[in-house]
Amino acid sequence: MVFHPNRRTVLAGFAGIAGLAAVTPAVAQGGGTVHDIQMLNKDPNNPRNRMLFSPRVLAIDPGDTVRFLPVDPGHNAQTIDGMVPEGAEGWRSKLNEEFEVTLTVPGIYGYKCLPHLGMGMVGVVFVRGEGMLENLELAQSVRQRGRAAKAFEEIWAEAEQIGLMTA
């Protein structure tokens, strides 16, 4: 028996593939997964929360890529001095531009939106693997000011709650 697809069958197949692509994580050229972090003026789930990264706590595997998406204008993403594992490089994106960084060294990477640091627009990426928590004490000791200090208290609590703060 020979199968002869009609237009409806072909379109349904494409729709299924598109739906699968929407729920399957993207794969970076190097083979790791691509994780998106949105840069937002306000939280769509709680409009009282303004100037934020979503998610602001992310756990990835070595070789995965983090893609910062400027959903709203006026944002960048850059590492915070003292909040990068030894042997790893920091990054600094341009304002209003999508930016990708592939992280290979296990550890904790603290980052900020420079224009909105005072409003608490910060986040943390945990790269799993041996030595992931080696720079935890140093990262937590970095002095934060204003709303960034409160945001980091919440971030560390969230990381603890989801099990990222234990070896």
CATH number of residue 68's parent domain: 2.60.40.420
Model pLDDT, residue 163: 96
Which region holds residue 131: left if phi is over 0, alpha if psi is between -120 and 50, else beta?
left
Model pLDDT, residue 72: 97
Model pLDDT, residue 26: 61
Closest CA to 67 of 108, 105, 26, 107: 26
What's the rounded Cα separation, in Å, for the pair 100 and 68?
A: 6
Model pLDDT, residue 3: 46
Q: For residue 104, how far is the Cα from the chain centroid? A: 14
Per-residue pLDDT of the chain (167 residues; tens, 9 = 90+): 444 555 444 344 434 444 434 434 565 555 699 999 999 999 999 989 999 999 999 999 999 999 999 999 999 999 999 999 999 999 999 999 999 999 999 999 999 999 999 999 999 999 999 999 999 999 999 999 999 999 999 999 999 999 999 86
Model pLDDT, residue 20: 39
Closest CA to 52 of 147, 138, 126: 147
Q: Is residue 48 part of a domain?
A: yes
Could you identify the residue written with the tokens 């699968």? 20
Q: For residue 85, how far is the Cα from the chain centroid? A: 16
Q: Is residue 128 part of a domain?
A: yes
Looking at the structure of the chain, the number of domains it has is: 1
Strand residue runs (E) in 45-88:
46-54, 57-60, 64-70, 78-79
Model pLDDT, residue 18: 41
What residue numbers bound the domain in which 132 lies? 7-161
Q: Is residue 167 part of a domain?
A: no
Contact criterion met (CB below 8 Å) for 102 and 61: no
Q: Is residue 46 part of a domain?
A: yes
Is the pTM higher than 0.75?
yes
Q: Is residue 153 part of a domain?
A: yes
Model pLDDT, residue 57: 98
Q: Is residue 1 part of a domain?
A: no
Number of continuous H segments (helices) and E segments (strands) in the chain: 3, 9
φ, ψ (nearest 5 deg) of residue 78: -150, 150
Model pLDDT, residue 29: 57
